[in-house]
């Protein structure tokens, strides 16, 4: 790879264009189509965080799985550095060098029979990030230090059941970084963790974004963390993006009734009841 190619790789974007996902739903002898994602588009830039916000069932995790190549889109395309992303073979491996996912459940995403070191060693070798035992071990230690798991050599020898939920999610994050990812898809990465340790994980993601120049897609139902840890917010409702914009604008001056509903559902002692009534009235007018 030339110097020009490497510079382009560092500054390229991940673009989602008109992404659609339909699922077949069977009920007895009948089959129908359910549209989980309906023409979703956005661009993820290096060094920026985009929050995809919505309630359960809004389609945000399906978007994440399509970007991670775990689901095949019904239509639309995903462009990496301006080029269509591949679905198989060597080109898919190259795509996964750059685009990785951190899953919601840190208890299910790690194999309990293998050590932390094993979970990191595999992507390092598969994606040719280091060769030779000493180099691989050094890279494992570097990754564990990047996610604040110290001392790294001791942590590498542990198994998942010996770690807390927060530590497991840090291991999962290190595994996502192991191939040299430029774009990180974080699907509700702190929702299954204790409230007391969520802030530490979010601060870690924010630090890695700055220091590694990562583009981060942060998927959440929590508007408060979306505001503080993202540059742009996209609000999803029934598979569609119904509102988007800079984080502060979306939170402080929401335009769509559904965004106002999410804000009204969050604990807020000031004018909470009044806002909820206004939202109900607006939604009733839209559905009339």
Helix (H, G, I), strand (E, B) or coil at 178: coil
What gap in Å lies between CA 99 and CA 142, rounded to an integer? 20
- The domain limits of the chain are 47-74+89-246, 254-288
Q: Where are the beta strands (DSSP E) in 168-250?
A: 183-187, 215-220, 232-237, 240-246
Report helix angle 272-287 to 257-265, nearest 10.
150
What gap in Å lies between CA 115 and CA 117, rounded to an integer? 5
Element (H, E) at 101: strand 99-102
Residues 6+ apart with CB under 8 A from 250: 227, 233, 235, 243, 244, 259
Q: What are phi and psi of 52, to 5 degrees?
A: -105, 110
pLDDT for res 191: 86
Q: Which of 64, 57, 53 is nearest to 14 (CA)?
A: 64
Helix (H, G, I), strand (E, B) or coil at 80: strand
pTM, rounded to two decimals: 0.85
Under a CB-based contact definition with an 8 Å cutoff, are residues 47 and 14 in contact? Answer: no
Q: What are phi and psi of 80, to 5 degrees?
A: -110, 120
Helix (H, G, I), strand (E, B) or coil at 193: coil
pLDDT for res 288: 55
What gap in Å lies between CA 288 and CA 286, rounded to an integer? 6
Task: Give me 131's structure tokens.
Answer: 């060769």
What gap in Å lies between CA 64 and CA 69, rounded to an integer? 9
Per-residue tens of pLDDT for the chain, all 288 residues: 444 444 445 568 999 999 999 998 887 778 889 999 999 999 999 999 999 999 999 999 999 999 999 999 999 999 999 998 877 788 888 899 999 999 998 888 899 999 999 999 999 999 889 989 999 999 999 999 999 999 999 999 999 999 999 999 999 999 999 999 999 999 999 888 888 788 889 999 999 999 999 999 999 988 888 998 999 999 999 999 999 999 999 999 999 999 998 888 776 545 445 545 655 565 566 555
CATH topology for 47-74+89-246?
A: Rossmann fold (3.40.50)
CA distances 31 to 18, 34, 157, 175, Å, are 25, 10, 50, 39
Under a CB-based contact definition with an 8 Å cutoff, are residues 15 and 78 in contact? Answer: yes
Q: With helix as H, strand as E and coil as C, how does 118-176 read?
A: HHHHHHHHHCCCCCCHHHHHHHHHHHHHHCCCCCHHHHHCCCHHHCCHHHHHHHHHHHH
């Amino acid at each position: 790879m030339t110097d020009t190619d490497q510079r382009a790789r560092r500054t390229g974007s991940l673009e989602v264009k008109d992404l659609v996902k339909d699922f077949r739903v069977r009920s007895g002898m009948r089959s129908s189509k359910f549209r989980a994602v309906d023409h979703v588009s956005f661009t993820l830039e290096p060094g920026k965080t985009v929050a995809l916000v919505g309630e359960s069932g809004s389609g945000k995790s399906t978007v994440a799985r399509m970007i991670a190549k775990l689901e095949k889109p019904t239509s639309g395309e995903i462009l990496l550095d301006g080029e269509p992303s591949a679905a198989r073979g060597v080109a898919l491996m190259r795509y996964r060098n750059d685009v990785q996912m951190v899953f919601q459940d840190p208890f299910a995403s790690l194999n309990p029979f293998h050590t932390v070191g094993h979970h990191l060693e595999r992507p390092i070798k598969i994606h040719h990030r280091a060769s030779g035992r000493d180099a691989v071990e050094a890279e494992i230690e570097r990754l564990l230090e990047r996610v604040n798991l110290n001392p790294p050599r001791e942590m590498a020898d542990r198994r998942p059941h010996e770690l807390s939920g927060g530590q497991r999610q840090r291991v999962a994050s290190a595994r996502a970084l192991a191939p040299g990812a430029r774009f990180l898809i974080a699907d509700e990465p702190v929702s299954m963790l204790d409230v007391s340790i969520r802030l530490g994980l979010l601060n870690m993601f924010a630090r890695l974004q700055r220091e590694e120049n990562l583009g981060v897609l942060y998927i959440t139902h929590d508007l408060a963390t979306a505001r503080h840890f993202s540059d742009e917010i996209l609000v999803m409702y029934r598979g569609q993006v119904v509102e988007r914009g800079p984080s502060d604008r979306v939170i402080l001056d929401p335009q769509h009734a559904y965004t106002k509903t999410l804000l009204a559902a969050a604990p807020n002692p000031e004018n909470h009841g009044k806002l909820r009534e206004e939202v109900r009235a607006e939604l009733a007018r839209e559905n009339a």
